[in-house]
Amino acid sequence: METNQHVEKFYQAWGTLGSNWGINKTMAQIHALLLISENSLTTEDIMEKLNISRGNTNMNLRALMDWGLIQKEHKKGERKEHFVAEKDIWKVSRLIARERRKRELEPALKILEELRSIKDTDAESKRFKKQIDEVYKFTSMVDSILDKFIKSNTSWMMKIFAYIAK
């Protein structure tokens, strides 16, 4: 398999993986392209390499910037915008975790908090409230773990993984 085929396979795999983090395939493929690119790329470069429209490219570049996964890079003497991805995979994983937490866990916790405040007046409402409390405790624990991961640094995480691997 040639390098180009490997690169294409990576774009496709990262695109599929991206849908698991709650983003669309094209957004993930643009991220993959910028992640492995040695140099920053223009919108036109991205459009050409991935064979996607300008509108689709621009929309997904904005979304990637919102997630903090890419930044604009200005080159002296050039009017075109260039884009570069964060290369530190630990930082990338923390940025993705932060966004998923914000989009998924925080809204779930808010709803669970509301549901926990119901009055348990009969056996059915007591069972319901008890189950909601269990779900809330678990979700809060996951939120706390994610918060620690998001705020962590690489050496802290490596120590944890080394400990677990023993």
pLDDT in tens, 81-115: 999 999 998 899 899 999 999 999 999 999 999 99
In the chain, domain spans: 3-85, 89-165
Q: How confident is the model at residue 21 (pLDDT cuts 50, 70, 90)?
A: confident
Instruction: Provide, rounded to the nearest whole percent, the portion of the chain with pLDDT above 70.
Output: 92
Measured torsion, CA atoms of residues 150, 67, 28, 151, in degrees rounded to the nearest 10: -10
Q: Which residue has the higher pLDDT, 112 or 21?
A: 112
Q: Tell me yes or no: is domain 3-85 CATH 3.40.228.10.
A: no
The Cα 36–Cα 46 span in angstroms is 12
Higher pLDDT, 138 or 8: 138
Compute φ and ψ for 70, nearest 5 degrees. -135, 160
pLDDT in tens, 124-162: 989 999 999 999 999 999 999 989 888 887 666 666 666
- Strand pairing of 82-85 and 41-42? antiparallel
- Please give the helix or strand (H or E) that residue 63 lies within, else none: helix 54-67
Rounded to 5 degrees, what are φ and ψ at 53?
A: -75, 160
User: How far is Cα 144 from Cα 150, in angstroms, rounded to an integer?
Assistant: 10
Q: What is the percentage of the chain residues whose pLDDT exceeds 90? A: 58
The pLDDT score that the predictor gives to residue 156 is 63
